[in-house]
Structure 1
């Protein structure tokens, strides 16, 4: 399967290994045979500085910072502004958008015309909606 997926580029096997390394249960060991997170995430041999994965230092790593306190604070701030404020301000903005297609204006205008015609004693819609003198009908020969 790895040879089939390697057509996506030379970096795919490396990405696959990184993804497999991150898919680790964060639950506490329940007994014999359970491995701790630190056992599964040993320092990388290729690194000259002995760097440890952020998941080892902070099992609740959110990807904002290496420091666990700053990481959690940045995650909370990011989600607050990204979700709460966006929903509230976005919903308010959408609610107060101008009348789409002027539908409300058209209804108010129609109600005013109806009230005016009722006040004048005229029918709401005349028998001849269009002025008959302005309608040009084809002659018998053009039909």
Structure 2
């Protein structure tokens, strides 16, 4: 009789332990966070807005056709940016109208323009902020 009680007690302990391990694994308690801090591309796309293609004249009477994707810091800022898309397009056209083709050439030119847009767009956002502006296509003629 005493042997049965010990066997039942050990079985219960093993079942509780197995249930605990299963819960630990299923609830992701055992998974380490990524140490690099980088988001997956799926996470980036969830907070990114496609501004689309903009075609306009530059200050030196050249013509630019350019497209952008803008990454925000969260869902709320993405939603606001989508509503303010027309204002963002206005900012882009206004900035481009004061530039010459050489201002956009090279890596520094494009990165400088992206940073300018990021700063100007952040000025109009009430919810969150722009993390990065990406030029996705670019043609000057």
Mark yes or no: TM-score above 0.5.
Answer: no
TM-score (norm 2): 0.31
Report the structure, 1 or 2, having the larger strand content: 2
For the pair shown, the structure with the greater C-alpha radius of gyration is 1
Higher relative contact order (CA 8 A, sep 6+): 2
